[in-house]
Amino acid sequence: MRQSKYFLKTSKTTPADDVSVNAKLLEQGGFVQKALAGVYSYLPLGWRVLKKIEAIVREEMDAAGGQEVFMPSLHPKANWEATGRWQGLDVLFKVKSQHGNEYALGPTHEEIVTPMAIPVINSYKDLPLAVYQIQTKFRDEPRAKSGLLRGREFRMKDLYSFHASSEDLEKYYNEVAIPAYEKIFQRLGLNALFTEASGGTFSKFSHEYQVEIESGEDVIYICEKCGMAKNKEVFEDGAECTKCGKTSWREAKASEVGNIFMLQEKYSKPFNLQFTDSDGSKKTVIMGCYGIGTSRLMGVIVEKFHDDKGIIWPAAVAPFKVHLISLKGGEETAENLYQDLLNSGVEVLYDDRDLSAGSKFADADLIGLPYRVVVSAKTVAQESVELKERAGQESQLVKINELADKLKN
């Protein structure tokens, strides 16, 4: 992509009303633009990042046997009354239509997915099943701050599993859902701590995945021995670690990037979602739900990977791999290199603008692509370009005809 033609302008001024690092760097870098508190537009650069995060989540959900669906954002009021959450969920956005009807804007989808499964699940032979979506959610959060960490409109992957028994749910939870989650966070380069939390409906705990960051809204206690964590809400002094039995904890601030629940019959009961078991008896379907905040993840990644000059994207989610910068006397070579890199399938942002070296370097550091390639009169004289990793300090000269191969690997 040619930067001169890209829908992108970086900015030197920081957003006045938000002090979080992710809001500051993502807005200044031209990734997102705030429409109102907690509501953002994703500009081309930011949308590429979000799509990469969501592609990783999608791949792992598919690999775990999840089937992708797409449910509505506008929900019938009756479904939310059936579960008691029309009144019970404080962050529910309620919409009144001009015809006098009321609707909810989906903050989560148990109220849609459960009745949706009624015509599909009849017999024990239909179970287990799991469907998921990646979608925009709405929550009337009282304090939408911290950039992408807490939105009123945000992105989430939510998977729902259906089982014939609690044993089958537990097996799925431990053997399918948890390994898939660990794989996702590992691919994103994040150390997401498996954390016990309250909120289990019939089980003792639900589980969260928490990433330790200074700007996180949650307080967790991390076992100094094995790294398992407990949310402060459920933490008791002197508690033993469920995993290793030790009692030495370190307090930390963290952001919840995922949350998994054994719902059991909580939603299948009110919607009367039943199946016929092998002995002919009617039973209530057992459910689990599994969320990942994909837009919050984008914010958390920025909180984790940056320095005083800008973002340092992990390669797996960087909007482009290479920032190609042409300086005086390097224009023609840069044009040729740009074509070479495109032909080699390397994702490249090409700074072909007529600007000073200083402002181009500042933009490259702010935007934070993994590799910076500079072509100038000086490097061309040596038939080379200057290659530097965003995460490193040193740059090296690389022969022009070797660059594409080097960057491909």
| Residues in touch with ligand ATP (CB under 6 A) | 108, 139, 141, 150-151, 154, 156, 256-259, 291, 293, 295-296
Shortest CB 172 distance to ligand ATP, Å: 18
Strands, E, within 166-217: which ranges?
A: 192-197, 206-212
Beta-carbon-side half-sphere exposure of residue 305 (alpha carbons within 13 Å)? 24
Residue nearer to ligand ATP on the CB measure, 150 or 360: 150
Q: Which residue is nearest to ligand ATP (CB)?
A: 293
Q: What SS3 class is residue 227?
A: coil
- For residues 132 and 69, give the distance between their C-alpha atoms in angstroms, rounded to a whole number: 6
Residue nearer to ligand ATP on the CB measure, 19 or 39: 39
Shortest CB 259 distance to ligand ATP, Å: 3
Shortest CB 290 distance to ligand ATP, Å: 9
Shortest CB 260 distance to ligand ATP, Å: 8
Rounded to 10 deg, the angle between the 21-28 and 294-304 helix axes is 90
Residue nearer to ligand ATP on the CB measure, 133 or 326: 133
Shortest CB 376 distance to ligand ATP, Å: 42
Q: How many CB atoms lie within 10 A of CB 349?
A: 25
Residue nearer to ligand ATP on the CB measure, 255 or 268: 255
Beta-carbon-side half-sphere exposure of residue 278 (alpha carbons within 13 Å)? 4
- For residues 131 and 120, give the distance between their C-alpha atoms in angstroms, rounded to a whole number: 12
- For residues 215 and 202, give the distance between their C-alpha atoms in angstroms, rounded to a whole number: 32
Shortest CB 402 distance to ligand ATP, Å: 42
Residue nearer to ligand ATP on the CB measure, 108 or 326: 108
Residue nearer to ligand ATP on the CB measure, 37 or 316: 37
Distances (CA, A) of 182 to 68, 209, 313, 401: 20, 9, 20, 40
Residue nearer to ligand ATP on the CB measure, 156 or 373: 156
193 close to 325: Cβ distance less than 8 angstroms: no
22 close to 299: Cβ distance less than 8 angstroms: yes
CA proximity to 320, closest of 350, 343, 299, 340: 350
Q: What SS3 class is residue 268?
A: coil
Shortest CB 288 distance to ligand ATP, Å: 12
Residue nearer to ligand ATP on the CB measure, 49 or 257: 257
Shortest CB 138 distance to ligand ATP, Å: 9
Q: Does the bond joining 128 to the residue before it have cis omega, within 30 degrees of 0?
A: yes
CA proximity to 49, closest of 30, 35, 64: 30
- For residues 257 and 295, give the distance between their C-alpha atoms in angstroms, rounded to a whole number: 9
H helix or E strand, kind and range, residue 408: helix 400-408
Residue nearer to ligand ATP on the CB measure, 10 or 294: 294
Shortest CB 154 distance to ligand ATP, Å: 4
Residue nearer to ligand ATP on the CB measure, 38 or 319: 38
Taking phi first (over 0 means left), then psi (-120 to 50 degrees means alpha), and beta for anything else, what does residue 345 get?
A: left
- For residues 199 and 108, give the distance between their C-alpha atoms in angstroms, rounded to a whole number: 15
Q: What SS3 class is residue 100?
A: coil
Shortest CB 156 distance to ligand ATP, Å: 5
